[in-house]
Structure 1
């Protein structure tokens, strides 16, 4: 990634931007990493635009610095509406995602496409929507939340891994081209969290994706999932997103959680 060149930005305008309260827009804020990230940025003094398919204001602190807006990252009209309603932002956190665990052989291609629509194309569409304002201001940061499956292969997650690895390549390339405009692009790679609901918004049950032929193979894998040696907490991810959003160096990867950090070091 290109390191920012301060000579591109007038000193006065930089100081003005640094003095104002910053605003972050976070996708997938109804639970898990997104919800904790919204709380974390709010606690650090930022304005927070927390987006979710079905707005639930009661899950976040009552504050003039928090706005909850509806957003479906797979719908172009929904994206356009939220960008207009949000106004100028300083950071975009692409956190919304769905998952699938099971044998790829048994995974309907309709569901594979659904996973990519959210995890891959949804991230790209949201990013494309905010680039103009970031480029024109010569400031801003995009933080894409992926997964530690991009650091080490995990069985029974082929489609999910592919959707996240696509964002790894996308982010690395985009960091170069937007670096020319002093816009930063970062990756946060959370480790494994047993509370992650891979079936959320998918309408596909894990048990339906394990044919009898895979049962013996899958049993010890799911047993290991149930009792992992290291786990990632929601607060680990929120802190990593915060660090990535405020990082002014060329660092691209931010593993989140002890298991993800261990995988990154071993890579």
Structure 2
């Protein structure tokens, strides 16, 4: 029976991915920064573990107590929507700490384990903004683009050790609380000079032509975990698939 560790399982893609792998009969280690014991079924194949990807000691503790792992899903992330000009550098660093350096830290911690067991899969969840840049999300896009390059390089580096590295690129999901960890108000992030530019963009977000469901992402992660080919990218959701085909 295989085991998957998934970061950022308190809501959204991570939560649905944990449910999906559990339903397929896997052992699941669902990690989250703030524990929520009531969101996943009680099961001897499912553990909820506290983990902050920006804290090296938290990463070490989680891995030390988890036992053998077959797949790591780096899903934890935070977002920010707003004009780059108005986004404080302190918050941009926070976005990179989670979305970029958090992914790298988790991966660096688990690679020795995968290398020693001569098997393993690292799946990094990015975004369809890497396929087509979205306005008013420059910092977020940059943090995810960095992981795209990191993942492509690492896939070559770990291939000799039978460790596969994959990307899942979700589209836009209206149900996802994109900026839920943002302590900044939208009024702060969209100055008056940007109002006329931002209004039609937000209107389009409110009524998108194509959207991604959380189940689309869970299924894409599942496909990536079980893929034995050299495929690197797995767009998730009809909008992401369309963008990937056009790029």
**What is the CA–CA distance in structure 1 between the aligned matches of 2:159 and 2:35, rounded to whole Å?**
34
User: 1:85 maps to what in 2?
Assistant: 65
**What is the CA–CA distance in structure 2 between the aligned matches of 1:52 and 1:152, rounded to whole Å?**
29
Secondary structure (helix, strand or coil) at the match of 1:50 reads strand
User: 2:239 maps to what in 1?
Assistant: 259
Q: Structure 2: which 5+ runs fail to align? A: none
Contact 1:37 1:238 in 2 (8 A): yes
2:217 pairs, out of 228, 237, 241, with: 237
User: 1:198 maps to what in 2?
Assistant: 178
The higher radius of gyration belongs to 1
**What is the CA–CA distance in structure 1 between the aligned matches of 2:200 and 2:20, rounded to whole Å?**
36
Runs of 4+ in 1 over 3 A off after TM superposition: none
**What is the CA–CA distance in structure 1 between the aligned matches of 2:51 and 2:117, rounded to whole Å?**
25
- The TM-score normalised by the length of structure 1 is 0.92
User: 1:105 maps to what in 2?
Assistant: 85
Aligned in 2, Cα 1:142/1:128: closer, same or farther, shift over 3 Å? same
**What is the CA–CA distance in structure 1 between the aligned matches of 2:187 and 2:110, rounded to whole Å?**
39
**What is the CA–CA distance in structure 1 between the aligned matches of 2:66 and 2:35, rounded to whole Å?**
15
Secondary structure (helix, strand or coil) at the match of 1:59 reads coil
**What is the CA–CA distance in structure 1 between the aligned matches of 2:225 and 2:188, rounded to whole Å?**
39
Q: How many residues align structurally?
A: 247
Contact 1:100 1:206 in 2 (8 A): no
Q: Structure 1: which 5+ runs fail to align? A: 1-20
CA RMSD of aligned residues (A): 0.6
User: 2:150 maps to what in 1?
Assistant: 170
